[in-house]
Amino acid sequence: MKIDEKRIKTVKKIWDNYVANSKIVYDTKGKVIKNIDEQRFEAISEIKKIIASFQKGESNISEFKTALDSYNKRNNLWGFTATKGQMFFNLLTRNSENKIQAFEKLIKDLIIEPKNLDEALSKIDRLDKYASSFYIDGANKQKLPNPSSTGYFLSYFWQIYNPQKWPILYTSLVKSYIDLELWEEHDSQRETYKYFFELNKQIISILKKHTRKNITNWDAEHAFWYYKGNPFEESKDKPKEKPPRNEPTSVPEYKIKPTFELKDYLLPKIADLVKIGEQTKKSASAKGHEFEKRMAEIFDYLDFKVEALGQGKGRNPDAILKYRKENVAFIVDAKAYSEGYSLGIDDRAIKEYINFNCPKLIKDGYKKIGFIIVSNSFKSNFDTFINDITWNTDIKRFILLTSEALLYLFAYKMKSKLSLDIIIEKLISCGNLVTAEDIIREFEDV
């Protein structure tokens, strides 16, 4: 498609607006990233080391995947931690366990920078067909690598090798091009990337002539991200409306927007979790018991085996969650605090829960044990305490989970028929504090 004069003017306006607003770039939580290009160049040198170690055989596919995931979680400058990047890689690997050596060889070949566009399209076609071999006839799509992730996945690696040559096939950019009527749908990832590559080249050419400066893939990418308002930023034109108090099923002012109404996927039995946590008229004991019960029911619906403990059963956490298939367990404590939960004197109790329950869980064969605190909100910074726990105990992951985040986790489970494997993988991929925005970001395709 050749961009006509009308849309050329629009592309120029998009650039001018981006420049006029100080070339702002947001991260996946809607926060401004300062000097993103400088940060990316620094990150590229480190990511190249991780790739080189894999290519030389110093690390296997599993170690490579883990190292890449770990680095990108700390330096999420390309959005690789989301569905089309790390999740796609995880699902590819998991479904290739019975032919792991062949899969490792395939990935080594495909992620190396192509010599030209034709070779790039051939590589995309190979991975598209490989992913399709699992996906097309698979019964549970949530556990299978979606071939539509192929273009983004490979172009990410190629851009690490050569940022000037290879644009990344971001869903957010495609959405912008659709808005501007610049996009055409294609049947294969091969044709999709070819069209995207050529369209990106036209846009850069327009901007070079307009600015009389060198324009990079990153420049164009950032400008169109700003035009879209960032997928996770509140619309600049839409007035903000505060959600009604004590209404857990309304959509708050999230910078990351879900594509559905939360209330449409909640059962009446559990929908009042946030409201219970905000109550001030009931006694702390009565409110706490009700909050614990709702929380346990939600985890049960998520397909955990829930052992409810809590009030009346000594100095115990409120529940133990178990997932025997993966030998994963979580110790869970619910905090129904209307003004937000802070650690206070509970650090001793938490350590007692861990010291008492971890040995029993380990003896029972659970190899990965986490700790979850559920509350409407959290007031203090727990990072130092969490670091101490994960360093000095058998707890592998410590999560502060907001009540609303738990409701959204349930909603995505119902909406997309998610398996517990996926739910756990997404949950532990977030930071220490997991909010509703984090859950939406993990499950929405952006």
pLDDT digit string, tens, across residues 181-202? 999 999 999 999 999 999 999 9
Strand order in the sheet with 328-335: 305-308, 319-323, 328-335, 368-375, 395-402, 433-434
Q: Indicate the number of domains in the chain.
A: 2
Domain extent for 89: 5-228
270 and 224, same structural domain?
A: no
Residue 130 lies in a domain: yes
d(CA 85, CA 9): 33
Pairing state of beta strands 319-323 and 328-335? antiparallel
* Mean predicted lDDT score pLDDT of the chain: 87
pLDDT interval class at 30 (50, 70, 90): low
The per-residue pLDDT for 2 is: 87
Asked if 210 contacts 15 with a C-beta cutoff of 8 angstroms, the reply is yes
Residue type, 332: V
pLDDT interval class at 251 (50, 70, 90): very low
167 and 20, same structural domain?
A: yes
Structure token digits, residue 339: 């003004």
Using a 10 angstrom Cβ sphere, with 0-12 exposed, 13-18 middle and 19 or more buried, the burial of residue 341 is buried
User: Would you list the DSSP string of 56-87?
Assistant: TTSS-HHHHHHHHHHHHHHS-SS-TTSIIIII
Query: Domain containing 269 — which CATH number?
Result: 3.40.91.30
413 and 278, same structural domain?
A: yes
d(CA 85, CA 92): 11
Residue 115 lies in a domain: yes
206 and 347, same structural domain?
A: no
Structure token digits, residue 282: 């009931």
Residue 242 lies in a domain: no
pLDDT digit string, tens, across residues 336-393? 887 888 876 578 889 999 999 999 999 999 999 999 999 999 987 788 889 889 999 9
216 and 276, same structural domain?
A: no
Residue 27 lies in a domain: yes
d(CA 76, CA 393): 28
d(CA 98, CA 309): 40
207 and 267, same structural domain?
A: no
pLDDT at 249 over 50: no
Q: Which residues make Cβ contacts (< 8 Å) with residue 316, sequence separation at least 6?
A: 309, 310, 353, 356
376 and 283, same structural domain?
A: yes
174 and 96, same structural domain?
A: yes
Residue 243 lies in a domain: no
266 and 219, same structural domain?
A: no
d(CA 309, CA 288): 13
